[in-house]
Amino acid sequence: MTEFVDQQHLRLSPRQIGTVRTLGRRPRRPALWSSRQAFFTDLAIFVLGLGGVYSVGLVGALPGNEILLLPMLPVLLIYRGSRAFNREYLWFLILVGAWLLGTMAADASIDNYAVNRMKGIARVIFFAFDFMALAILINHKTRRMIVFALSICAVMVFYAQDFRGDFLTSWKFGYSSALTIVALLVASYYNARQKYKTCVAIFLVLAALNLHYAFRSQMVIVLIAGALTVPIFENRRALGRRQAATTSNHYKTVILVALAVGAIFIANQAIKFAATQGLLDENTAEKFKSQSNGKLGVLVGGRPETLVAIQAIRDSPIIGHGSFAFDPKYIALKQDLQYEYGYSESDETPDEGGIPTHSHLTMAWVESGILGGLLWLYILALTIRAILQTAVHRQPLSPLYCYFLVNFVWDILFSPFGSVNRLWGAFFVLLSYNVLRSAKPVPDQQRSRRPYPRRVVPVRRRFAY
C-alpha cells in the first residue's frame, strides 16, 4: 500500500497535488442570495428606501417610503415584532414616546392649529415607525445595510435631476452624496484588504471635488470621516484572548477629537485658499467672504438660524412653542443678528414662515420643549459614541459607516428634519446601535461554547512522507 501511494505521489505535478476539488468539475460560484426570503427582504429594503423619491400632499408632504410603510409595518410586527423592541433600543423608544408627549403638550398649551398638530404628531410617529421597520428588515445584517445605502444613493441621483441646468446645485443636493456612497463602498473594499493608501486617496479625491464644486459642508464631513478612518489603533478583535491594548479609552478619544479638529482646520484653510485664489465661482467666493468676515466665524454665518433657535429655547425651554410654530419676532431677530455680527448689510426683516431652526436638535426642542431636546441629545451622544467605536474597532465598512455617522451629526446640529430624512435618520440610529454592538468583546463563556472548526489538512501534506 505504501509503494502504491509513493508511485501516485511521483506521478502528480505540484499543482495537482495542491488541488482539493474533484477532477473534472468546476467549482460552483456561491449564490447571490441564500434563499428567496433573503432576496425579497433585500428587495423590500431597497424599494422602501427608493420610495423617498416621490411624495404625496396629505396635510403635509408625505414621502413615498412612509406610504409603503403603512401596509407593510403591521405584517412585519406580526412576523418579527421582537426585533423592533429589542432591549438595547429601550431608551430610544422611551424617548421617542416622550417626544410625542412633549409635542402634544406644547400644541395644547398654545392651542395650535389642527393642521400643525397633525403634522407635528405624524412626524414623530412616522420616525418611530421607520425605525421599527428597518430594525425588523435589516436585523443586524451588513449586507442589508449596504442595500439600504444603495437606495439612498439612488434617491440622491433622482433629487439631482430636479436641478438640471445648474450643476452646482445638482452636485450639492444629489450627485455629491451619491458619488460619495459609491466611492466609499469601493474604499471599504480596499480597507478590508488593508490597502489604506488607496482608501485615503479616495477620501482626498472626494474632498477635492466638493471643494471644486463649492460644497463646503460635505468637504468638511468627508475630511473628518477620512481622518477618523486612518488606522491608528490596533483592532481589539484581532487580539482574540490576548490582553487588550494598554492605550486608555480617554487617550484614544483625545486623539480622535484632535484628528477631527485638524480635519476641520485643514478644510477651512483649503476653502480660504480656493476663495482667495479665484478657484471658486464669483458668487460662491463672495458668499464665503461675507460669512468669514462676520464676528462669529463661517459656521454661524452659514447657519444663522442656530442663534435664533437658542434664543427661542431659552424663552420656553420646558414646554416649547408648538409644532411648526410661527412668531415674527424670531424672524426679525435672525435678521438683526445677521446685521449686528456682520453677516448682512441690511436689517430689513424678510418675509419668512416659522421659527428659524434648521436643525434636528433645535427644531425638536423649540417645538416640543425639553422632551424633544432630550431625544436628540441622546441620539447625538449615541452617534458620537458609534463614531469613536468605528475609528477604534475597525470594520471592513468603516469608511462608509464613519461618513454616514459624521454626516448624521452634522444633520442633527445643522439640517432640517422632515420628509425622507425621517427614514434616513432612523437608519443612522440603527447603524449606531449596530456599530456599538459589534464593538463589544465576546464574553469568555460564550466564546468557549462555540464549536471550533476542524483543521483542514492540505492535500500535499497528506502525500508528504
Sorting pLDDT into bands at 50, 70 and 90, what band is 276?
Answer: confident
> What is the overall mean pLDDT for the chain?
81
Least confident residue range of 297-301, 352-356, 397-401: 297-301
Give me the mean pLDDT over the 340-356 stretch. Answer: 62
Instruction: Report the distance separating Cα 146 and Cα 152, nearest Å.
Output: 10
Q: Each residue of 45-101: pLDDT tens digit?
A: 999 999 989 888 776 778 899 999 999 999 999 989 999 999 999 999 999 999 999
Quote the pLDDT of residue 352: 62
- Grid cell of 26 as nine digits: 468546476
Sorting pLDDT into bands at 50, 70 and 90, what band is 7?
Answer: very low
Instruction: Report the distance separating Cα 17 and Cα 26, nearest Å.
Output: 17
Q: Is residue 240 scored above 50 in pLDDT?
A: no
Sorting pLDDT into bands at 50, 70 and 90, what band is 233?
Answer: low
- Grid cell of 232 as nine digits: 491608528
Q: Is residue 454 scored above 60 in pLDDT?
A: no
Instruction: Report the distance separating Cα 360 and Cα 424, nearest Å.
Output: 12
Q: Is residue 27 scored above 50 in pLDDT?
A: yes
Quote the pLDDT of residue 419: 86
Instruction: Report the distance separating Cα 100 and Cα 371, nearest Å.
Output: 8
Quote the pLDDT of residue 244: 45
Quote the pLDDT of residue 363: 95
Q: Which of 266, 222, 175 is CA-nearest to residue 399?
A: 222
Least confident residue range of 226-230, 332-336, 395-399: 332-336
- Which are the contacts of 333, defined by CB distance < 8 A and separation ≥ 6? 308, 311
Quote the pLDDT of residue 342: 58
Taking the domains of the chain in order of start, what are their residue ranges?
Answer: 37-232+248-438
Q: Each residue of 307-321: pLDDT tens digit?
A: 889 999 999 999 999
Q: Each residue of 38-61: pLDDT tens digit?
A: 888 999 999 999 998 988 877 677
Which of residues 440 and 330 earns the better pLDDT score? Answer: 330
pTM confidence score: 0.84
Which of residues 186 and 344 earns the better pLDDT score? Answer: 186
- Which are the contacts of 172, defined by CB distance < 8 A and separation ≥ 6? 213, 214, 215, 218
Instruction: For residue 363, give the 3-state DSSP assignment.
Output: helix
Q: Each residue of 369-387: pLDDT tens digit?
A: 999 999 999 999 999 999 9
Give me the mean pLDDT over the 214-229 stretch. Answer: 90
- Grid cell of 34 as nine digits: 441564500
- In contact, 361 and 413? CB cutoff 8 Å: yes
